[in-house]
Amino acid sequence: MFERFTTLLFESPVSSLSATLAAPIAMTVWFRSRASRLNEPERQTTWILYGQWLQVIYLCTVAVWWSLWDAQRVSVLAKAPLSGLTSLDPAMLTLTLFLGLPVGALAIARLIASASGRTFFSSKRTLTDLVRLTLWGTASSTLVFLLVATGFDAVYRRSWTSVFWLIAAAIFRMVGKAQFLTAQGIIFRRVKSGEVYKRAFSLAGRMKVSLRRVHVVPIGRGHLTNALGWPRSIAVTENYTKFLHEPELDFVIGHELSHSKELHGIKNLAVAPVVLSFLALACCLFPAILAPFRPILDVVVILMPVLIDRFFSRRFEYAADAASVAFTKNPDAATQALVNLNRLTQAPSHQNELLEIFMTHPALDRRIEAIKTQL
């Protein structure tokens, strides 16, 4: 019976693709059910961990969807039936199915996850907030990866239309990410006075960092806790001054100033395009060799840019920690700041090694260990 089920699942395009789209929704519901059985403090920490795993599941869903679509030659097989059903271009309808079905399925999964997070953390986010988070979260990730997949399908055929699709992916990524930050409630308010402003410019002067703008972000309905650093500007949420003492706040500001000075944000933005360009060049130079391995290559095209991007992101976090500690000369304050931040956000202090390779930040215990080895 199991063999019959497996044969049906993987030999039928409809069955295998439907199972692929159902999996992230089912996993989201299952994780929600498991978390809801726990008591409140444990439930919140567990849901954060589940949320991290769900992001990996959503990413892998796109990779598996594209790989199965290619392996079972759906684009070719679907054209004949579709041409008999409608006068519209079958190729366009096939493309619409390829993009629309996973976007819809993963949007449903994300909406369930967002609603669960609001419930577990007693968030004040409205239904409109959840819909916006779902919309822009899906657009900036799932849709972007599918546009990359469409672009690489053209790369495999050595078509110049690949340039259009990859540029569209880059635009959706930038616009979607900005809108997703707004949907989270991140509103950058430039300040010209206050404790964060004074400390930031004092530290910037001593660290020889060119700083022009300091932003304080309201915690909003999502109870945000975050800090960001870009060229010549930094931002922290307004609650940092309430739970961090002066030396700890100096470490956080120094960390973001290091990101600003070393242009870590810009370097991170360049990682994925460079990796995708390398893969596209390889596909163009060796089409005959790589053609039999297209389903495997599909997975590589989706996962490799993300994994390399996250690797560098974690390296930059370690580097910013080290630079801030070296300047402030107070590793104890650095450690305490990280512990306080982790306690406030209720994030797990230890991370599964497999999960961590998909994360932008190292786990708390590894960051603390890195600071200790610096002494």
**Helices within 13-126 (DSSP H only):** 13-36, 40-71, 74-77, 79-85, 90-120
Phi, psi of 189 (to 5 degrees): -110, 110
292: CB partners within 8 A, 6+ apart = none
Q: Which H/E stretch holds residue 233?
A: strand 233-237
- Model pLDDT, residue 87: 57
**Burial of residue 128, with CB atoms counted within 10 A of its CB: 0-12 exposed, 13-18 middle, 19 or more buried:** exposed
Give the residue carrying structure tokens 């619409």: 96
CA atoms within 13 A on the CB side of 174: 11
Per-residue pLDDT of the chain (375 residues; tens, 9 = 90+): 444 444 444 456 788 899 999 999 999 999 999 999 998 778 988 999 999 999 999 999 999 999 999 888 765 555 555 555 555 666 778 888 899 999 999 999 999 999 998 888 878 888 999 999 999 999 999 999 999 999 999 999 889 999 999 999 999 999 999 999 888 888 889 999 999 999 999 999 999 999 999 999 888 776 778 889 999 999 999 888 888 888 999 999 999 999 999 999 999 999 999 999 999 999 988 887 888 889 999 999 999 999 999 999 999 999 999 999 999 999 999 999 999 998 888 888 888 889 999 999 999 999 999 998 876
Task: Give how far the C-alpha of residue 163 lies from the chain's centroid of Cα atoms, to the nearest Å.
Answer: 24
Name the pTM for this structure.
0.91
Extents of the domains making up the chain: 185-375
Ranges of H-type helices in 220-293: 240-243, 246-262, 264-285, 287-290
Contact by Cβ (8 Å): 230, 210: no
pLDDT attached to residue 220: 74
- Do 65 and 102 meet the contact criterion of CB atoms below 8 Å apart? yes
Residue 335 tokens, joined: 């450690």
Query: Cα(220)–Cα(23) distance, rounded to whole angstroms?
Result: 33
Q: Which two tokens stand for residue 93?
A: 């309808």
